Structure 1
């Protein structure tokens, strides 16, 4: 029974993470087929990740009002429709509608229920830790294996077939999800903070758009970032006003007052920024500068997939032996070391397989810290807060993914023929060092096997 419940939840996390990275090896094929540019594909990927980040918090709140399972199924339906539309897209605009908008909104609806249902169904601490280990492993492998699977499908058939593959997985999840119960009935009387949802989404969109504009107009970047910060500050003020008035806001300020949770969220953001930033940087460099095919690029990324898989699947065992803080710090150290190896080997060899050791170390590090970070954040709050914290946690992670692709892509597009590859990797290494510093501030005395919810 447990496996039947866990399988669709893990697959849902896999396909959404896969969607965020598999297009990285299709950059050249899509740009040629749709008569667009590397920047056009980068914008498509970034908008997909950004829509997820912007709508994840509202998506989490909707589960309380309409139910976890109905939101999961609605999200799967939207995602599947987006995948089919992307597969037949005649141009970049339709691809953005299908992949970036429909799949992005679908993901924002279906991912919060995955985490909330896991928390509610797996009540035993050990069982919950195991369940989240499997789900985070599926997510990490989806992100890391995206280039390999996408490369294989693109080379064997077409980049369009990769979207058909996603639609088929979604159909399988819908069938398997029949065994997933919804432990708590929906409450249609729950208030939904529409103003708060609009403010939070607008603020995140402005921030990431500002990063994307950096390669063309630094003044526009400064203005967009300032506007984004102002709107997010307005969101915080609105939330406080709603609480003072006795109404339920989109996000309780209580979620922002827990030091451990805040640090855990910051490390999640840095982890996904590094993972998606590295994936886009190396993929674009190998295809556009080195001229490698989608399949060759995907095969090179196998080492990252193996690294994430090994460390993610051993997360439960590691959590019994080491504090979560130690695992997160070790993960950042390995990821930064992997970035350094990528830089060093790129400087001394033109062999395409020179990227393998660095990607392997990066994958190993990311996989080691994904589950502990989620455990620390979700375990900091009671069950009645799980809808909010799940949405916030996934929003912060997807914002990291968006920023990773946006920052790396902006640097690369600004100068693919110069030292842009090295600059992008250095920036990602700095993010890793900041993540390591934040992880060092986490409490030393957290449970080794915490409740992952």
Structure 2
């Protein structure tokens, strides 16, 4: 079935719909990475401490992790476009409140609470609508490639853009930039985005499952973030989170047996292809954020570079990611998605190895990092798209809301784990053997990449498009 016949819209209209989707992913990724270079300026301006601003960032991660899965589920009940718009409005209000915050409390409400809720509401519809509107393999690969490219650029270039705005204008201007982008997305999405499926107000919403999943994920993310403070606290929180999430799964299974609809269908966890794809997504974002954390810390702490100089060096990652992401359609036509994911991990690991050699062999020039960073960006850009496509295409229309929320949640956990893993190793050895600490942190990131590589080789060789999926409830497979 052609894309025109399935979606009922000409290709030009689909390309227009892709613009607000990609911008939405960009602004969310940019917000997360740019905040790190504004901590000192925010703390001075608001009369608080660096630790206080870090609490704001931590709570944002917790809110987003807790609500990403329910946010995906709400799209079935209220409609994907409506949830996208609602999320954008909530996010925009939060960004505006953050820009005019007179103190830490208002910043916490704006950035941590409202932007966290907005992100959880707007990101799942982006991936659901992309899956539903772009029905052919090559066009879906192009669409996810554009979204992944802007998401990766937002994450990689966030420190550069945020550092430049903070240094030349004010950290408040960075939040105003988010408000402007969100406003543009609202206008463009109202004009160009069409929801191909009607909302179903009769769909139940699992409140108890929402509470269990939120509590479990908050405990897990808190445990990850506590990794560089207290090992036993980390293990205790992770164990508690695992126990609550197990309770959530058992309860969901019991609801299904009783004929009720849970927050997440347990069918999501019985699909081998999707499960393997989720692991690769987690490893990819772990490597991106872990590498960014280690190299940024090295350049600023050891070499004395400021945020802008560090961001300029990371343009190599941005360039590599942009080139491979925009070539996603061409790659998808020529190679199976498993091949692309395996190649992406191999290239990224090679880039990490190149950086590792630089970190443990003296004092390299700053630009010596460019080849390794380029390889990391190119490898990640080449596999982010097929990994998302494999997961989203594994299920029919009825499960798109659930798998989208789960997929974004797993990716965010990977980002948190990457920063926490690298941070823990650096904190443990930075005062005694700094060079060795940076090297060990990169080794840990590389090991995660090897795990992802091995997982990717286990994907079915015929993961080339929507036909590889399994049907959702009462819906045919794509």
- TM normalised by structure 2 equals 0.89
Matched, 1:438 2:450: no
In structure 2, relative to structure 1, the CA distance for the partners of 1:316 and 1:47 (3 Å cut) is farther
Question: Is the 8 Å Cα contact of residues 162 and 171 (structure 2) preserved in structure 1?
Answer: yes
Aligned to 1:278: 291
1:354 aligns with 2:368: yes
Counterpart Cα distance in 2 of 1:47 and 1:244: 36
What pairs with 1:256-267 in structure 2 (closer than 5 Å)? 256-267=269-280
- 355-364 or 260-269: which moved more? 355-364
Equivalent residue for 2:328? 315
TM-score under structure 1 length normalisation: 0.93
| Displacement after TM superposition at 1:351 (Å) | 2.8
Provide the rounded CA distance (Å) in 2 between the counterparts of 1:434 and 1:241.
Answer: 33
Which deviations, in whole Å up to 9, do the C-alpha atoms of 1:374-425 show, x marking residues without a partner? Answer: 1111111111111111111111111111222233334344554443333322
Counterpart CA distance in 2 for 1:352 and 1:431 is 25
RMSD: 2.2
Q: Per chain length, whose mean CA-contact separation is higher, i.e. which structure has more relative contact order (CA < 8 Å, sep 6+)?
A: 1
CA drift at 1:90: 4.1
Q: What corresponds to 1:325 in structure 2?
A: 338
CA offsets per residue over residues 296-337 of structure 1, 9 Å max, x none? 111111111001101101111111112111111111122222
Task: Please state if 1:152 is matched with 2:164.
Answer: yes
Q: Which moved more, 1:160-169 or 1:148-157?
A: 148-157
Match runs of 1:61-72 below 5 Å: 61-72=73-84
Q: How far apart, CA to CA, are the structure 2 residues paired with 1:335 and 1:370?
A: 12
- Per the TM alignment, residue 126 of structure 1 is displaced from its structure 2 partner at its CA by 3.2
For residues 47 and 409 of structure 2, what CA distance do their matches in structure 1 show? 32
1:367 aligns with 381
Q: CA deviation at 1:287?
A: 2.8
CA contact (8 A) 2:341 2:386 kept: yes
Indicate whether 1:105 and 2:117 are aligned.
Answer: yes
Q: Equivalent residue of 1:349, what SS?
A: coil
User: Over residues 321-364 of structure 1, what are the superposed CA-to-partner deviations in whole Å (9 max), with x where a residue is unaligned?
Assistant: 12111111111122222222222212322533333222211111
Could you tell me how far 1:113 is from its partner in structure 2?
A: 0.9
Superposed counterparts of 1:388-399, under 5 Å: 388-399=402-413
In structure 1, runs of 5+ residues without a counterpart are none
Q: Quote the Cα distance in structure 1 between the aligned partners of 2:344 and 2:410.
A: 18
Q: Given that residues 26 and 150 in structure 1 are in contact (C-alpha distance below 8 angstroms), is that contact kept between their aligned partners in structure 2? A: yes
Q: How does 1:13-412 map to 2 (within 5 A)?
A: 13-34=25-46, 41-179=53-191, 180-347=193-360, 348-412=362-426
Q: Which residue of 1 aligns with 2:474?
A: none
- Which runs of 5 or more structure 2 residues have no equivalent in the other structure? 1-12, 470-477
Which moves more between the two structures, 179-188 or 46-55? Answer: 46-55
SS at match of 1:251: coil
- Does the 8 Å CA contact 1:20/1:48 hold for their aligned counterparts? no
How far, CA to CA, are the matches of 2:336 and 2:424 in structure 1? 37
Aligned residues: 453
In 1, distance between residues paired with 2:242 and 2:211? 14
